[in-house]
Amino acid sequence: MTASPAGSEFDLIARIRARAGTRDDVVLGIGDDAALLAMPPGMALVVTADTLNAGVHFFPDVAPADLGWKALAVNLSDLAAMGASPAWCTLSLSLPQADPAWIDGFLDGFCDLAARHGIALVGGDTTRGPLSVSITAMGHVEAGHALRRDGAQVGDEIWVTGTPGDAAAALQSLLSGAAVDRALRARLDRPTPRVEAGRELLGLASACVDISDGLLADLGHLCQRSGVGAQVQLEQLPVSRALAGFRPQLRWAWQAGGGDDYELCFTAAPTRADEVQAALDFAGVPGARIGRIVAGQGVQALDAAGAPWQAPRVGYDHFG
Ligand code: ADP
Ligand code: MG
């Protein structure tokens, strides 16, 4: 086989293939018309897809390694929210030009995160066009045990992992041209998908969603699917060190309304609280109880005095 010229589509695919990783359950990976994958018995296949477009989801001059990390992270976060174990993914790239250095940088971030979660890249597509990254991630979960959005019960406690709001605060600083706190910037560029926490919450959480659009918005989706309402105590929202100095009214907008956090928001019966805390500790993920599931519909955010608080902006709607 002759080497493909640097910069051609085939050279790019060769670079990707060399770093795709593998697993015992990949019968046939990159290089054929499609991949062949072996499903473990007793497990349900979990599939999710997410696309990141330049100018919509990231700045066109983003560091390629950060983009590679984040494109995979947002998909792993969806698997985490289902309690799934990541296994395989495909990568569809639309690129303005075939730039080998850019692909190598992209793969640095992508493969770093992929290796941490043992997910193998088994195929994809490479085309010329405006910069866009689309990933389909697949995993498995014990059949009948997935974490879903529709299981929340009245009286359940609402939990959240990490410190939501950090990514939104970083984005606002960036957009306003202000200096961006390094810790906040890291949360925006390199979110941590809560895969281990999702796995540990199987059998404990009654419902779960990952936070991509904003805590209240995504909790709202969970409530809608479950046919319940929610009350969130704003003063119980976990605060990162970087946000602790801001006055509550300002940081609540980020914490409750901001997106791009990729934390988990889930519900559990109050009787399971100690087990939930132990599960999060085992996963090495901080978590906090922030409210209750109530009868009715909609999410109410309450301030320290118990007064309803109207978020200035709830979630992100691409077509809003
Ligand atoms: P086809 O024309 O049959 O769709 P391609 O020439 O597009 O095949 O791709 C050849 C092989 O490379 C396939 O196995 C495909 O899955 C893989 N591939 C192409 N682009 C990517 C990519 N961006 N990431 C991972 N695998 C890719
Ligand atoms: Mg083909």
Q: What is the pLDDT of residues 211-240, one digit of tens each?
A: 999 999 999 999 999 999 999 999 999 999
| Cα 26 to Cα 38: distance, rounded to the nearest angstrom | 6
Beta 298-302 vs 229-233: how paired, if at all?
parallel
Output the CA 11–ligand 1 centroid distance in Å: 12
Q: What is the mean pLDDT of residues 47-62?
A: 92
Q: Is 212 annotated as a binding residue?
A: yes
Q: Sheet containing 287-294: which strands, arranged edge to edge?
A: 207-210, 264-268, 157-161, 287-294, 229-233, 298-302
| Cα 206 to Cα 226: distance, rounded to the nearest angstrom | 10
Residue 86 has pLDDT above 80, yes or no: yes
The pTM score is: 0.95
Residue nearest to atom 13 of ligand 1 (CA): 31
One-letter amino acid for residue 12 of the chain: L
Output the CA 13–ligand 1 centroid distance in Å: 7
Output the CA 228–ligand 2 centroid distance in Å: 47
Q: What is the pLDDT of residue 108?
A: 98
Position in ligand 1 atom list of the atom nearest CA 91: 24
3-class DSSP state of 136: strand
Higher pLDDT, 262 or 319: 262
How is residue 246 written in tokens? Answer: 């801001």
Q: Which residues are CB-contacts of 141 (< 8 A; sequence separation ≥ 6)? A: 43, 44, 46, 82, 83, 84, 85, 202
Q: Which residues are CB-contacts of 284 (< 8 A; sequence separation ≥ 6)? A: 196
Of the candidates 131, 5, 124, the residue with the CA atom closest to the CA atom of residue 64: 131
Q: What is the pLDDT of residue 314?
A: 45
Of the candidates 93, 4, 84, the residue with the CA atom closest to the CA atom of residue 45: 84
Q: What is the pLDDT of residue 316?
A: 53
Print the SS3 string covering 260-316.
CCCCEEEEECHHHHHHHHHHHHHHCCCEEEEEEEECCCEEEEECCCCCECCCCCCCC
**149 to each of 129, 192, 207, 222, how far by Cα in Å?**
36, 21, 5, 5
Q: Which residues are CB-contacts of 248 (< 8 A; sequence separation ≥ 6)? A: 234, 235, 303, 304
Q: Is 48 annotated as a binding residue?
A: yes
Q: What is the pLDDT of residues 7-23, one digit of tens each?
A: 688 899 999 999 999 99
Residue among 75, 122, 126 whose CB has most ligand 1 atoms within 8 A, to mutate: 126
Q: What is the pLDDT of residues 161-205, one digit of tens each?
A: 999 999 999 999 999 998 899 999 999 999 999 999 999 999 999
